[in-house]
Amino acid sequence: MKKNKIKASSVKRVLKYIKKYSFLLIISVLLAVITVGLTLYIPIIIGDAIDLIIGKGLVQLDKIGTLLLNVGIISLIIALLQWVMNTINNKITFLITRDVRNEAFDKIENLPLKYIDSHQYGDVVSRIITDVDQLADGLLMGFTQLFTGITTIVGTLIFMLTLSPIITLVVVALTPLSLLVASFISKRTYSLFKLQSEARANQTAIIGENIGNLKVVKAFSHEDESLEEFDLSNEKLKKASIKAIFFSSLVNPTTRFVNALVYAGVALVGAFVVMGNFGTAITVGALSCFLSYANQYAKPFNEISGVVTELQSSLASAARVFELIDEEPQMPDDENALVLENALGSIDLYDVKFSYSPDKELIKNLTLRVEKGQRIAIVGPTGCGKTTLINLLMRFYDVNSGSISVDGTDIRNITRHSLRKNYGMVLQDTWIKSGTVRENIALGKPEATLDEVISAAKAAHAHSFIKRLPLGYDTVISEELGGLSQGQKQLLCIARIMLSIPPMLILDEATSSIDTRTEIKIQDAFALLMAGRTSFIVAHRLSTIKEADVILVMNKGNIIEQGSHKELLEKKGFYYNLYNSQFEIGEEQNNEKN
Amino acid sequence: MKKLLVHFRGYKKQCVLAPLFKMLEALFELFIPLVVASIIDVGIANKDTSYIVKCCIIMALLGAIGLTCTLFAQYFSASCAVGFATSMKHSLFKHISSLSYTEIDTLGTSTLITRMTSDVNQVQSGVNLTLRLFMRSPVIVFGAMIMAFIVDFKASLVFVVTIPLLCIVVFGIILSTIPLYKKVQEKLDKVLHSTRENLTGVRVIRAFGLEQSEKTRFHKETEELSRAQSFVGKISAVMNPATYAIVNISIAILIWRGAIRVDTGDLTQGQVIALYNYMSQILIELIKLANLIVTMTKAIACANRIQAVLDTESSQQNGTSRCGLSGKPSVEFKDAYLRYNVSPEYTLEGISFTANQGESIGIIGGTGSGKSSLINLIGRFYDTEKGQVMVDGVDVKEYDTEYLRESIGIVPQKAVLFKGTIRDNLKWGNKNASDTDILRAIELAQASDVLEKCENGLDYVIEEGGKNLSGGQRQRLTIARALVKKPKILILDDSSSALDYATDARLRQAISTIDFNPTTFIVSQRTASIMGCDKIIVLDDGKIVGMGKHNELLHSCVVYSEIYNSQFKEEVQ
CA distance A55 to B262: 6
Q: Do the chains contact at A264 and B225, CB–CB below 8 Å?
A: no
Q: Do the chains contact at A75 and B43, CB–CB below 8 Å?
A: no
Q: Do the chains contact at B506 and A585, CB–CB below 8 Å?
A: yes
CA distance A390 to B257: 85
For an interface test with B, give the residue of A249, A272, A330, A541 to mutate (most B CBs within 10 A): A249
CA distance A574 to B363: 31
Counting one residue from chain A and one from chain B, the pairs whose CB atoms sit within 8 A come to: 458
Task: Answer whether B474's CB lies under 8 Å from B466's CB.
Answer: yes
Q: Which residues of B touch A232 (CB under 8 A)?
A: none
Amino acid at B457: G
Among residues A373, A582, A36, the alpha carbon closest in space to that of B564 is found at: A582
Mapping DSSP onto H, E and C, the string for A403-471 reads: EEEECCEEHHHECHHHHHHCEEEECCCCCCCCEEHHHHHHHHCCCCCHHHHHHHHHHCCCHHHHHCCCC
Whether ipTM exceeds 0.90: no
Amino acid at A380: G
Q: Which residues of B touch A226 (CB under 8 A)?
A: 93, 97
CB atoms within 10 A of CB A499: 22
Q: Which residues of B touch A415 (CB under 8 A)?
A: none
Sign of the alpha-carbon dihedral angle for A125, A115, A386, B415: negative
- Mean pLDDT of all residues in B299-314: 87
Q: Which residues of B touch A586 (CB under 8 A)?
A: 505, 527-529, 531-532
Distance from B501 to chain A by nearest Cα, in Å? 5
Q: Is A246 on the interface with B (CB under 8 A)?
A: yes
Distance from A59 to chain B by nearest Cα, in Å? 5
Amino acid at B222: T
Helix (H) or strand (E) segment spanning residue A48? helix A22-51
Radius of gyration for chain A, computed over Cα atoms and rounded to the nearest angstrom: 36
Q: Is A255 on the interface with B (CB under 8 A)?
A: no
Q: Which A residues, 347 through 406, put their C-beta within 8 Å of a C-beta on chain B?
A: 381-383, 394, 396
Residue of chain A whose alpha carbon sits nearest to that of B471: A382
CA distance A333 to A329: 11
Amino acid at A562: Q
Q: Is A334 exposed, middle or buried (0-12, 13-18, 19+ CB in 10 A)?
A: exposed
For an interface test with B, give the residue of A39, A64, A105 to mutate (most B CBs within 10 A): A105
Q: Do the chains contact at A98 and B402, CB–CB below 8 Å?
A: no
3-state secondary structure of A352: strand
CA distance B21 to B73: 5
Q: Is A1 on the interface with B (CB under 8 A)?
A: no
Amino acid at B308: A
Q: Do the chains contact at A264 and B406, CB–CB below 8 Å?
A: no
Rounded to 5 degrees, what are φ and ψ at B431?
-55, -35
Q: Do the chains contact at B196 and A101, CB–CB below 8 Å?
A: no
**Position B395 confidence tier, pLDDT thresholds 50, 70, 90:** very high
For an interface test with A, give the residue of B55, B202, B425 to mutate (most A CBs within 10 A): B202
Q: Calculate helix-pair angle for A61-109, A132-141, nearest 10 degrees.
A: 160
According to DSSP, residue B318 is labeled -
Task: Answer whether B105's CB lies under 8 Å from B341's CB.
Answer: yes
Least CB–CB distance from B567: residue in A205, A220, A543: A543
Least CB–CB distance from B196: residue in A53, A121, A427: A121
- Mean pLDDT of all residues in B500-528: 85
Among residues A254, A561, A567, A530, the alpha carbon closest in space to that of A372 is found at: A530
Q: Is A519 on the interface with B (CB under 8 A)?
A: yes
Least CB–CB distance from B260: residue in A61, A260, A593: A61
Every domain of chain B and the residues it spans: 1-152+297-310, 154-266, 329-407+488-573, 417-486
pLDDT at A359: 73
Residue of chain A whose alpha carbon sits nearest to that of B529: A586
CA distance B296 to B95: 25
Strand partners, B461: B421
Strand partners, A414: A338
Q: Do the chains contact at B366 and A121, CB–CB below 8 Å?
A: no
CATH topology match: B1-152+297-310 vs B417-486: no
pLDDT at B334: 93
pLDDT at B568: 66
Q: Do the chains contact at B197 and A215, CB–CB below 8 Å?
A: no
pLDDT at A483: 64
CA distance B233 to B183: 13
Distance from B94 to chain A by nearest Cα, in Å? 6
Q: Do the chains contact at B66 and A128, CB–CB below 8 Å?
A: no
Distance from B552 to chain A by nearest Cα, in Å? 12
Q: Do the chains contact at B86 and A582, CB–CB below 8 Å?
A: no
Q: Which residues of A touch B75 (CB under 8 A)?
A: 246
Task: Answer whether A465's CB lies under 8 Å from A491's CB.
Answer: yes
Q: Which A residues, 489 through 508, put their C-beta within 8 Å of a C-beta on chain B?
A: 493, 496, 500
Sheet containing B331-338: order of strands:
B348-355, B331-338, B386-391, B394-395
pLDDT at A542: 63
Fold classification of B1-152+297-310 is: ABC transporter transmembrane region fold (1.20.1560)
Distance from A1 to chain B by nearest Cα, in Å? 34
Q: What percent of chain B lies above the pLDDT cut of 70?
A: 97
Q: Do the chains contact at A394 and B203, CB–CB below 8 Å?
A: yes
Residue of chain B whose alpha carbon sits nearest to that of A133: B188
pLDDT at A4: 62
pLDDT at A455: 92
Distance from A543 to chain B by nearest Cα, in Å? 6
**Position B522 confidence tier, pLDDT thresholds 50, 70, 90:** very high
CB atoms within 10 A of CB B387: 17
Q: Do the chains contact at A381 and B66, CB–CB below 8 Å?
A: no
Most confident segment among A376-390, B286-300, B531-545: B531-545
Q: Is A54 exposed, middle or buried (0-12, 13-18, 19+ CB in 10 A)?
A: middle
Query: How many Cα atoms sit within 13 Å of B186 on the Cβ side?
Result: 8
Q: Do the chains contact at B112 and A443, CB–CB below 8 Å?
A: no
- Mean pLDDT of all residues in B212-234: 91
Residues of chain A with pLDDT under 50: 1, 583-594
Among residues B179, B190, B191, the alpha carbon closest in space to that of B301 is found at: B179
pLDDT at A1: 42
Lowest mean pLDDT among A145-149, B459-463, B539-543: A145-149
Q: Do the chains contact at A219 and B225, CB–CB below 8 Å?
A: no
Q: Which residues of B touch A443 (CB under 8 A)?
A: 204, 208, 210
pLDDT, tens digit, for every residue of B130-189?
Answer: 888 877 888 888 888 888 888 888 888 888 888 888 888 888 888 888 888 888 888 888
Distance from B350 to chain A by nearest Cα, in Å? 22
Residue of chain A whose alpha carbon sits nearest to that of B277: A292
Lowest mean pLDDT among A151-155, B222-226, B284-288, B420-424: B284-288
Residue of chain B whose alpha carbon sits nearest to that of A543: B567
Residue of chain B whose alpha carbon sits nearest to that of A514: B367
Q: Is A120 on the interface with B (CB under 8 A)?
A: no
CA distance A412 to A406: 10
Task: Answer whether A39's CB lies under 8 Å from A74's CB.
Answer: no
Q: B153 CB contacts (<8 Å, ≥6 apart)?
A: none
Fold classification of B417-486 is: Rossmann fold (3.40.50)
CATH of domain B329-407+488-573: 3.40.50.300
Average pLDDT of every residue of chain B: 86
CA distance A535 to A497: 13
Least CB–CB distance from A431: residue in B201, B428, B529: B201
Least CB–CB distance from B89: residue in A42, A65, A234: A234
Q: Do the chains contact at A546 and B570, CB–CB below 8 Å?
A: yes
pLDDT at A540: 61
